[in-house]
Amino acid sequence: MRRLGLAGIVAALLLGWALIVMLSAPAVSFIRNDAIPKAGDEIAVLTWNLGYGGLGSDSDFVADGGTHFFPPSPQAVRRNIAGIIDTVKNIEADVYVFPEAAKPGPLTYWHDLLGALRKIMPNTTRVFSADILTRWLPWPLRFEHGMAMYSRRAVGALNVEPLPREPDKIAGFISRDYTVRIIRVQVEGKPDWVILGVHLAAFDKNAEIRRKQLAEVMRYATVLHAQGSPVIVAGDFNLVLAQTCFKTTTAPKYLGWIHNFPMDALPAGWRIGADPRVPSVRTNERPYKAGENYTTVIDGFIVSPDVEIESVTTRDLGFAFSDHQPVLLKARRYSAPVSRSEDRGP
């Protein structure tokens, strides 16, 4: 039998350790803080797709028609993460929904966006649910991207429910698991606020998967609402939530993924909360330049009939740190259903 040298033994041990970590690493992390206060009749929810820290204004991306898979440099990622952290620290919300947060990996040059968020929100309940998880690659090559949710108000429970998946893998080997993350934010003496965090598909043909995913999301939402809770769906819908006419020079060939939100998917009394004044997303066929990249509104909220929308505001950062911009909802429990004539959307 051939003997292994010291280097071979070390390599074998490292490989075994990597396999154990990859096979045992949870796709969902839920760290509950029972010491934080409960919510009241008013609630503020922020959603911001963070672009994993790699899609600041100086980035393009190959899936969107660009030429690059990686960010321009490690320095660019550090700058993006620093800007994200400074922005989040200055936005007061009860619940934060962050699609495309990321642990250290190749697309962030091994910078830790998720860890940076955790440091500035120590007194919260934290959720991380990976939707891109390459378990079979060793740590230096591993991707672990997904949705992070933070709550400054007491959370009673988390559920992660499956959504329809795209048939093809990214780059032929990376699977994307689509889920809806559901947290119950506790209220003293009243039914919980129920917050659903979503990030729907982006490049499915004719938005077929997105529509199926949306139908499932609304099925979960209406069941939860029927149980007596006010419901807010928050996140990146990858569907146009508000009609806009922002200046652009982007060629039509880069806009095949743009589809309007199907209003018939909303049950009676449910409404869209979006800010049509400021774009929430830009295309990545080239680095960002105001008035050139196509921009629209795909990030926002859907609320149940017993939720009154007080305001929805998108913070205009010039897409400096992500290809999306933060959107803040302020809402309160509503004493009577709102008519469909008050719906906001395309």
Q: Which residues neighbour 95 within 8 Å (Cβ) at sequence distance 6 or greater? A: 43, 44, 45, 46, 149, 150, 151, 152, 153, 183, 185, 195, 234
* pLDDT for res 171: 53
Tell me how far CA of residue 207 lies from CA of 30, 105, 166, 210, in angstroms. Answer: 31, 29, 11, 5
Question: What pTM was computed for the model?
Answer: 0.88
Please report which confidence band the pLDDT of residue 320 belongs to, taking 50, 70 and 90 as the band edges.
very high
User: Are residues 302 and 270 in contact, defined by beta-carbon separation less than 8 angstroms?
Assistant: yes
pLDDT(336) > 60: no
pLDDT(11) > 70: no
Question: How far is residue 221's CA from residue 198's CA, in Å, rounded to a whole number?
Answer: 12
Q: Give me the residue label for tokens 């803080």.
A: 33
| Average of per-residue pLDDT across 62-76 | 94
The pLDDT tens digits for 130-161 are: 887 666 667 777 778 899 999 999 999 999 99
Question: How far is residue 129's CA from residue 270's CA, in Å, rounded to a whole number?
Answer: 26
Give me the helices (H) in 90-202, please. 113-120
The pLDDT tens digits for 94-134 are: 999 999 999 999 999 999 999 999 999 999 999 999 887 66
Question: How far is residue 49's CA from residue 100's CA, in Å, rounded to a whole number?
Answer: 6
| Average of per-residue pLDDT across 251-262 | 96
Question: How far is residue 79's CA from residue 83's CA, in Å, rounded to a whole number?
Answer: 6
Two tokens, residue 260: 């309007």
User: Are residues 160 and 182 in contact, defined by beta-carbon separation less than 8 angstroms?
Assistant: yes
pLDDT(247) > 90: yes
Rounded (5°) CA angle 246-267-306: 90
Question: How far is residue 27's CA from residue 283's CA, in Å, rounded to a whole number?
Answer: 29
Question: How far is residue 230's CA from residue 269's CA, in Å, rounded to a whole number?
Answer: 12
Q: What is the DSSP string of 196-236?
A: EEEE--SS-GGGHHHHHHHHHHHHHHHHHHHTT--EEEEEE
pLDDT(172) > 90: no
Question: How far is residue 136's CA from residue 149's CA, in Å, rounded to a whole number?
Answer: 26
| Of 45-59, 86-100, 126-140, 242-256, the least confident | 126-140
**Average pLDDT over the chain, rounded to an integer:** 89
* pLDDT for res 135: 64
Please report which confidence band the pLDDT of residue 174 belongs to, taking 50, 70 and 90 as the band edges.
low
H/E stretch holding 88 reads helix 74-89
The pLDDT tens digits for 13-44 are: 443 434 333 333 447 899 999 999 999 999 99
Q: Give me the residue label for tokens 């509503």.
A: 334
